[in-house]
């Protein structure tokens, strides 16, 4: 039962979906950078983000697996991650470029810059050591919203608590499935959180 729960959590909070979730949250906040965007435009932006940062990379991973270029869809082996990481970084860069053309708040662009940079850092680390991409994504989400709450003085304590709670569930899931060691989970989380927090604080 716990294993099924861990698999479900790992799927629902797949790293490629975290950016889409983050944009949904951003659009739901009663802040100036959200309220100035018309509802139809929000749906268009969400569509762009979902297709480019989830659908395209997911389809690419499926094609690589079908062609035998990676051994498993979950990419639990470090060797399987190199090509998908590189291509995913390219897709995220494309999403950043397209969003920049829309002339919306730079906050949305910061998310794309941060996630792209996090993927590149993960790729570099992957050459030497396996790190949890799930936890990099969750840590990045927490770091971004923590920074936003400090910089823009946005009152979102319950959101922060919820992200921390979900991060704990994801960490438990990765450990339960025996795909990561505790160090890979904790360092992945701290890496993602540090990158996004510093980016939002200093840019």
Q: Indicate the pLDDT class of residue 192, thresholds 50, 70 and 90.
A: very high
**What whole-number distance in Å separates Cα of residue 143 and Cα of residue 187?**
14
pLDDT digits 0-9 by tens, 163-184: 999 999 999 999 999 999 999 9
Euclidean distance between CA atoms 94 and 99, whole angstroms = 9
Provide the b/e sequence for 20-46 (b: ≥16 CB within 10 Å).
bbbbebbbebebebbeebeeeebeebe
Give 86-133 pLDDT, tens digit per residue: 999 999 999 999 999 998 899 999 999 999 999 999 999 998 899 999
19 within 8 A of 112, measured Cβ to Cβ: yes
Global confidence as pTM: 0.93
- The whole-angstrom separation of Cα 198 and Cα 192 is 10
Q: In 10 A of CB 80, how many CB atoms?
A: 20
Of the candidates 187, 107, 186, the residue with the CA atom closest to the CA atom of residue 154: 107
pLDDT for 186 equals: 96
Q: How does residue 80 score in pLDDT terms, banded at 50, 70 and 90?
A: confident
> CB burial class (10 A; 0-12, 13-18, 19+) of residue 70?
buried
Closest of 148, 139, 85, 74 to residue 116, by C-alpha: 85
State the Cα–Cα distance between residues 195 and 131, nearest whole angstrom.
Answer: 15
**DSSP secondary structure code for residue 53 in this structure:** I
Over range 135-158, report the average pLDDT: 93
**Residue 154 confidence (pLDDT):** 87
User: Poorest-confidence range of 9-23, 72-86, 94-108?
Assistant: 72-86
Residue 144 DSSP one-character state: H
Q: Give Cα separations from 40 to 36, 44, 45, 47, 112 (angstroms).
A: 12, 6, 9, 11, 21
């Amino acid at each position: 039962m716990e294993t099924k729960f861990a698999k479900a959590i790992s799927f629902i909070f797949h790293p490629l979906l975290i950016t889409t979730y983050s944009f949904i949250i951003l659009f739901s906040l009663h802040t100036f950078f959200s309220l100035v965007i018309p509802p139809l435009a929000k749906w268009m932006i969400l569509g762009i983000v979902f297709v480019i940062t989830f659908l395209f990379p997911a389809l690419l991973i499926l094609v690589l697996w079908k062609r035998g270029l990676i051994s498993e869809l979950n990419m639990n082996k470090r060797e399987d991650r190199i090509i998908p990481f590189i291509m995913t970084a390219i897709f995220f860069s494309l999403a950043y470029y397209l969003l920049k053309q829309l002339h919306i708040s730079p906050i949305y662009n910061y998310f794309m810059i941060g996630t792209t940079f996090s993927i590149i850092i993960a790729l570099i680390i992957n050459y030497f050591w396996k790190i949890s991409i799930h936890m990099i994504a969750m840590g990045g989400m927490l770091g971004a919203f923590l920074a936003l709450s400090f910089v823009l003085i946005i009152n979102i304590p319950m959101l922060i608590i919820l992200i921390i709670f979900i991060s704990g569930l994801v960490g438990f899931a990765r450990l339960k499935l025996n795909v990561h060691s505790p160090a890979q989970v904790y360092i992945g989380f701290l890496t993602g959180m540090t990158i996004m927090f510093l980016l939002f604080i200093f840019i």
